[in-house]
Amino acid sequence: MSNFRDSTVVLIETGRTHIRAGQGLHDLLRLPTVEVAARVGLRRNLAIPTGENGVFVVSVNDYLVGTHLDEALAAGQDLVVSWPFAEGDVADYIQAEAIWRYILFHELKLRRAQMESPVMLSFPAGISRSASERICQIFFERFNVAGFAIVERPMSQFYAAISGMQLSGVVVDIDQDYTDVTPIYDGFILHPGRTHVPVGVSDCQAYLAHLFRSNTSVMAALSPADNTPPPEALQETLLELAKHTWQSGLIKALGEGEAARDLEDEGVTDIAAIVVAGKERAVIESGMKRRQNAKAQPAEQARAREMEALDLVTTSFRGMELTLGKERHRFCEPLFDPTLLDGIPGVQARGDQDLRRPLQVAVGEAVAKADVDQRAYIWQGLFVTGEITNHIKGLGTALSGRLAPYILSSPDVQNNEVQARTIKTLRVPDYFAEYRDKGDGLAAFLGTSITAKLAFNDSGGKNYVSKADYASKGPRTILGMSPALL
């Protein structure tokens, strides 16, 4: 029987490129308190093969993680940087242990000798049985956790977005270098349909940086004739501007063949909702700005109308005021047409290039792997997530519009009661107050919190491995007592 206090529960969301963590379950599920890049650094002199047969002899304490790594890189130290989860699995268990150890004992300030915390670990789907056992062993034997469970990352993301009895859908997780597609039916991942596209946010940034080269005002500011920077420095600046642009919320996701359109809801101001969300100050300041604009000179008003008509926006970047045009809304285009990346500076080929196809094709193929009578239910739960969705709204709508051919052109099931006729997009519900203004990119952490609340409060204790279970049965206990592996 569980005797864990909610305040002791630790949540660790492990993605390809980022790790988020926090401690404590509360009535209002809170945001993660820790976020670090899922990378480690090793001083180059330690990365030279030594020992018998030239193998590496490296301990977990040799790796730098988090702020320690950031500071070493900023100081110019010669380091080998590795991303042990980049391929959606564990490439190196010592590196993985170094990251998790840093989070538990440095960021969360826990103490191994007095560990009272159970851990719910969110991990990419498709983890092997042997990998599950190895991870379980690390957490019990190296970290001394009080309990342990694994939930597959797409399921945790889906749990954050569903309401009622909606247990079928398809999760599209857009990460830095890859986009993962995972179909789910009746609460179970359909593993034969899982796939990925080796295109992500980094490619979109490279594409937008390329488009900015056609913006004369931007190029005049970043590369003035009297002080032209080296090509490498200019490219780095353009990439940084592209990142600044999408993270500042200046980009809209466009529908196929459509012009930019405002995807935000319009209507009567809901004062109560504004106060609850803590936005009253922003609304007041916005009202004051409108009144100031009303008193502006006719020339200023004309300029404002021109910028609105042309969809121009001014943003502060490196102490400069830059005016960006509609080209910024093309940021997401490589996701839907990867051929646009051909010949673009800064784009790196990665993974299996046969998998580099439009995202809508990948999603359509993934759902097609499900049985015919399952597909209509799966299409009722399209959930697009990833950090990009925290800043760019309407990605789910943009993708669903491009998926129309996949629900209307199946001749084998036309006019059949199991044929899907619509696609429903999901989002994190507003009743998760802490997440209301954060977009859908934190869905994995929210879903991990929900899973932990259910698993560690289960009186039967069948959804996690306790210390007693591990002592009597060893690492293989995880295979029958974890939400991801039942």
CB atoms within 10 A of CB 258: 9
HEC letters along 136-167: HHHHHHHCCCCEEEEEEHHHHHHHHHCCCCCC
Q: 93 with 110, same domain?
A: yes
pLDDT at 262 over 70: no
Identify the CATH number of the domain in which residue 394 sits: 3.30.420.40
pLDDT at position 55 is 57
For residues 435-442, average pLDDT:
88
Read off the pLDDT of residues 80-92 as tens digits, 9 standing for 90 and up.
999 999 999 999 9
| 321, β-bridge pairs | 316
Least confident of 131-135, 258-262, 326-330, 341-345: 258-262
Specify if 320 maps to a domain. no
Q: 12 with 156, same domain?
A: yes
Q: 14 with 92, same domain?
A: yes
Query: Checking DSSP bridges between strand 195-197 and strand 179-185, what pairing results, if any?
Result: antiparallel
Specify if 450 maps to a domain. yes
Q: 128 with 103, same domain?
A: yes
What is the domain range of residue 379?
169-198+349-413
For residues 330-336, average pLDDT:
97
Specify if 98 maps to a domain. yes
> Higher pLDDT residue, 232 or 48?
232
Confidence of residue 355 (pLDDT cuts 50, 70, 90): confident
Measured between alpha carbons, how far is residue 156 from residues 206, 339, 449 in Å? 30, 32, 8
pLDDT at 277 over 70: no
Confidence of residue 457 (pLDDT cuts 50, 70, 90): confident
Q: 31 with 175, same domain?
A: no
Measured between alpha carbons, how far is residue 79 from residues 43, 47, 65, 85, 271 in Å? 4, 9, 12, 18, 53
Q: Considering the chain, what percentage of its residues have pLDDT values greater than 90?
A: 69
pLDDT at 260 over 60: no
Q: 409 with 452, same domain?
A: no
Q: Considering the chain, what percentage of its residues have pLDDT values greater than 70?
A: 83
pLDDT at position 52 is 58
Reported as half-sphere exposure (CB side, CA atoms, 13 A), residue 22 has a value of 18
Read off the pLDDT of residues 21-55 as tens digits, 9 standing for 90 and up.
999 998 778 999 999 999 999 998 887 766 555 55
Q: 472 with 354, same domain?
A: no
Read off the pLDDT of residues 394-412 as tens digits, 9 standing for 90 and up.
999 999 999 999 886 555 5
Specify if 310 maps to a domain. no
Read off the pLDDT of residues 109-153 as tens digits, 9 standing for 90 and up.
999 998 999 999 999 998 899 999 999 999 999 999 999 999 999
Tell me how many domains the chain contains. 2
Confidence of residue 486 (pLDDT cuts 50, 70, 90): very low
Specify if 153 maps to a domain. yes
Question: Sign of torsion, CA 89 93 94 96?
Answer: positive
Confidence of residue 309 (pLDDT cuts 50, 70, 90): low
Confidence of residue 300 (pLDDT cuts 50, 70, 90): low
Q: Cα 119 from chain centroid?
A: 21
pLDDT at position 199 is 96
Q: 406 with 450, same domain?
A: no
pLDDT at position 57 is 74
Q: 408 phi and psi, to 5 degrees?
A: -115, -5
Least confident of 31-45, 202-216, 420-434: 420-434
Least confident of 263-277, 308-322, 372-386: 263-277
pLDDT at position 210 is 96
Read off the pLDDT of residues 3-22 as tens digits, 9 standing for 90 and up.
789 999 999 999 999 999 99
Q: 467 with 353, same domain?
A: no
Stated pTM of the model: 0.85
pLDDT at 274 over 50: no
Q: 173 with 33, same domain?
A: no
Q: Please say which residue of 395, 413, 431 terminates a domain.
A: 413
> Higher pLDDT residue, 310 or 443?
443
Confidence of residue 417 (pLDDT cuts 50, 70, 90): low
Specify if 213 maps to a domain. no
pLDDT at position 176 is 95
Mean of pLDDT over the chain: 86
Cα angle, residue 197 at apex, residues 11 and 33 outer, rounded to 5°? 20
Specify if 29 maps to a domain. yes
Read off the pLDDT of residues 174-191 as tens digits, 9 standing for 90 and up.
999 999 999 999 999 999
Instruction: Give me 207's structure tokens.
Output: 């594409």
Q: 188 with 140, same domain?
A: no
pLDDT at 158 over 70: yes
For residues 60-73, average pLDDT:
96
- Could you tell me if 5 and 26 are in contact, meaning their C-beta atoms sit under 8 angstroms apart? no
HEC letters along 2-53: CCCCHHHCEEEEECCCEEEEEECCCCCCCCCCEEEECCEEEEHHHCCCCCHH
pLDDT at position 308 is 57
Least confident of 142-146, 213-217, 278-282, 429-433: 278-282
pLDDT at 275 over 50: no
Specify if 49 maps to a domain. no
Q: 101 with 191, same domain?
A: no
